[in-house]
Amino acid sequence: MLQVTVGECRSLQFPLCLALAVVFATGCRPSTRESEQKADGGAHHAAAQPATVASPMASPDPAEIPPRVASLEARIALVQQGFDIASMIPKDPHERDRAKAQEWCVVAMIELGDLARAEALAKGIDTWRRPSVYGDIARAYAAKGETENCKRIADRAMALVPGLLDWQQERVRVKIAQAMATLGDRAAAADLERGVGEPEIGKVATVTATTAKSEEFDARAAEIEAWIATGNFDLARNAVAVAVALYQRFGTDDTLRSRAEQLVRSGYAKIPYDLRVAALLDLAKAASGAGRPEDARRLADDAQSILAAAKWLAEDRVAQQAGIARANAAIGAQELARTQLIAALQDFTEHRNGIVDILRARPLRLLALGFAEIGDADKANEVFLLAVDEGAANPNARPRAEDLAATCADLARAGIVPSDALRARIATVQSGLVAPW
């Protein structure tokens, strides 16, 4: 999305108890087209400030060194700011867009671990996304072992289900079922999951797979193969997600782990390239976490090969490269990750004008998160600033608000201290959110 010299998955749905273990990941928007992420364009460059040159013999005063990592309170405040910005969008006629932007911020609050604040924010959502977010919160409580809170918020979600469209009801029910499965109540999970349609079939299995016994593997593999054999996209997508969960579960069993990887690859023909990349990166991170760096490197390289072989729109190509770079950072390949992030930023710069303005900010946010994850807070700040600029050019305030809310949430996820220039630019764009929407 701009000069390289200036600072930088629907997808598979895994249970929140897994996602919380790799908080960044949940930090970013899914890369698939069905996620319908929007960003808009513009340009702004903060004037460089003259640097103060210190004596080469002098040690810097620690009090004069700005903090590099944001406090939890500061990050929570950023999410709240993002939610407030999303709430500026008028309900009429933009209720759905407003709720979607609000949901993004509530999910960020969940990832930060402040579930009480997440509950409070969720009350401000007016569409079906409120009970859906309650389902996310229930999964988070379950992952923490807080049974009473999990059931309390699950009941709140289920009370809002009547009156929703069928597919909305099923999505909420399955999230609650995942929470119950995490708590170990498989009977309740099965009751909630019973009768759901193909888009939701298999999602509870991604939770139960995390505690599966080795003697259950054959039956689970047969179920995965049957789903893939249908040729149905939703079933194949969810089947691959279950296979990834089995790979994570049996990371120390060479035979079962290898079979799980083959199950993942067997679903390739039925899912798009971005989901193939996402699955391989999940495998790579699991391999790294299990102490198998060579496997992690091989899997990440396979993901890179898929990226190189397929044709992508520029905004999607940059987003995918950011995801691969971030995975490389997660498995310890920091320098490779940096090289990939810089190359992706250059790719954005070269193809920026061919990207629709409301789609420019999102890949930049992903790159900024990547720079933050390799410890380059300065570059992350510069690229976040770039994302704010790109999201501020559309003449309508609604897409500007959507992007600014997402930037605040992702900045909180990044965990860096925003620069003065970035804070000022966010404030300026927020103050300009007025009609026309």
Q: In this structure, is residue 276 part of a structural domain?
A: yes
Between 28 and 117, the higher pLDDT residue: 117
Instruction: Please give the pLDDT value at position 294.
Output: 96
pLDDT in tens, 20-32: 333 333 333 333 3
Q: Pick left, alpha or beta for residue 197 (phi over 0 → left; psi -120 to 50 → alpha; otherwise beta).
A: beta
Q: State how far the Cα of 405 lies from the Cα of 400, in Å rounded to an integer.
A: 9
Mean pLDDT of 368-388: 98
**Is 55 domain-assigned?**
no
Instruction: Give the angle subtended at the CA of 218 by the CAs of 217 and 222, to the nearest 5°.
Output: 115
Bigger pLDDT: 179 or 57?
Answer: 179
Structurally, the chain folds into a number of domains equal to 1
Q: Which residues contact 151 (CB under 8 A, 6 or more apart)?
A: 138
9-13, 241-245, 252-256, 285-289: range with lowest mean pLDDT? 9-13
Give the span between the Cα atoms of 365 and 357, in whole angstroms. Answer: 14
Size of the chain in residues: 437
Q: What is the spatial distance between Cα 379 and Cα 376, in angstroms, rounded to a whole number?
A: 6
Q: Is residue 57 part of a domain?
A: no
Rounded to a whole number, what is the largest CA-CA distance in the chain?
72
- Is 56 a domain residue? no
d(CA 290, CA 423): 39
What does 46-75 look like in DSSP terms, one character per residue? PPPPPPPPPPTTPPPPGGGSPPSB--HHHH
CA distance 84 to 429: 13
- The rounded percent of the chain whose pLDDT value lies above 70 is 84
Structure tokens at 140: 């988070």
With respect to residue 350, please indicate whether it lies within any of the assigned structural domains.
yes
Degrees (nearest 5) of the Cα angle 417, 412, 362? 110
CB 284 within 8 A of CB 327: yes
Across the chain, mean pLDDT equals 88
- Report pLDDT digits (tens) over 221-237: 999 999 999 999 999 99
Nearest to 363 by CA among 333, 323, 329, 334: 323
φ/ψ of 425, rounded to 5, equals -70, -40
Q: How far is CA 356 from the centre of its chain?
A: 22
**Chain segment 3-15, per-residue pLDDT in tens:** 333 333 333 333 3
Tell me, yes or no, whether 423 lies in a domain: yes
CA dihedral (336, 373, 113, 417) in degrees, to 10, reads -170
Least confident of 46-60, 182-196, 206-220: 46-60
Share of the chain above pLDDT 90, in %: 84
Model pLDDT, residue 26: 36
Query: pTM of the predicted model, to two decimals?
Result: 0.84
More confident residue, 7 or 204: 204
The one-letter code for the residue type at 204 is V
Q: For the residues 289-310, what does the mean pLDDT come to?
A: 97
The pLDDT of residue 67:
54
Is the separation of the CB atoms in 426 and 406 below 8 Å?
Answer: no
Q: What is the pLDDT of residue 314?
A: 98
User: How far is Cα 373 from Cα 199, in angstroms, rounded to an integer?
Assistant: 33
H/E stretch holding 225 reads helix 217-229
- Residue of 271, 270, 320 whose CA lies nearest to 300: 320
> Does 329 map to a domain?
yes
Domain span at residue 37? 16-43+67-431
CA distance 169 to 113: 26
Residue 271: how many other CB atoms lie within 10 Å: 23
In a domain, 262, yes or no: yes
